Amino acid sequence: MIFQYIILGFVFSAGIGPANIEMIKRALTGKAWPAMVFYIGTGIIDMFYISVVMFGFSFFSENMMLKIALGVFGIGYLLYLGITDIRDYFKKEAFAQGIKLPTKKKMHPFVEGMLVNLANPVAIASWTAFYGVVAADFGKSTFNIIPVMIGAYSVGLVILFVAYFCKKVAGEKIMRVVSLLSGIILIGFSLMFAWGLLRS
């Protein structure tokens, strides 16, 4: 049963969403550890969301003002990330090897990971759907969340593993294209979420 939950967590978290898109981009264009810390941050929010669903905090998912506030924040933050990734594509020095450049102080990857997942209004709906499938077993023990999260975090390890080998053959041009595509996809997600917010 535990192994089944690990597989469920892995499959459920392996979908193409803002967090995984940004994780792939960071793993390919940056260092492994900050990318993994970023993914741990996204997982903390996943744990928060599924806890909310499990303990029946319906006000969180049903409060319209909260939905609008989270939606506006999410759209804005994903737009910011997308524009930043596209801007990196046009910076000649962004992926230069062996050159030490002055860097601006950035947010900690862990905090950025949390913000990216908070910026995804689909996340809590997805975990609600997931819990609907496994509610009977989860009702017997809340500790079943542990193997689910192990499976979810394993997705980050697989992305890092694949990125490690891809970086061996990926030149600067490929890394630029990854950054550009990542930016376009994130902006696409933000526009899709904006459309959904306007229709709700």
pLDDT digits (tens, 9 = 90+) for 164-185: 777 766 666 777 777 788 888 8
Give the other-Cβ count within 10 Å of 155's Cβ. Answer: 22
Q: What is the domain range of residue 17?
A: 2-194
Q: Can you give the pLDDT at residue 103?
A: 45
Q: Of the given ranges (12-21, 89-98, 156-165), which has the lowest mean pLDDT? A: 89-98
The tokens describing 179, both together, are: 């950054």
Asked if residue 57 belongs to a domain, the reply is: yes
Asked if residue 113 belongs to a domain, the reply is: yes
Question: Model confidence over 117-166: pLDDT tens digits?
Answer: 888 777 777 777 777 666 666 656 667 778 888 888 888 888 888 887 77
Give me the number of domains the chain comprises.
1
* 104 — pLDDT class (breaks 50, 70, 90): very low
Asked if residue 199 belongs to a domain, the reply is: no
Q: What is the pTM of this model?
A: 0.74
Asked if residue 31 belongs to a domain, the reply is: yes
Contacts of 100 (CB under 8 A, 6+ apart): none
The number of CA neighbours under 13 Å toward the Cβ of 43 is 24
Q: Which amino acid is at 136?
A: A
**Cβ–Cβ under 8 Å, residues 117 and 156:** no
Asked if residue 52 belongs to a domain, the reply is: yes
| pLDDT above 70 coverage of the chain, percent | 76
Give the other-Cβ count within 10 Å of 142's Cβ. Answer: 11
Asked if residue 200 belongs to a domain, the reply is: no
* 41 — pLDDT class (breaks 50, 70, 90): very high
Asked if residue 51 belongs to a domain, the reply is: yes
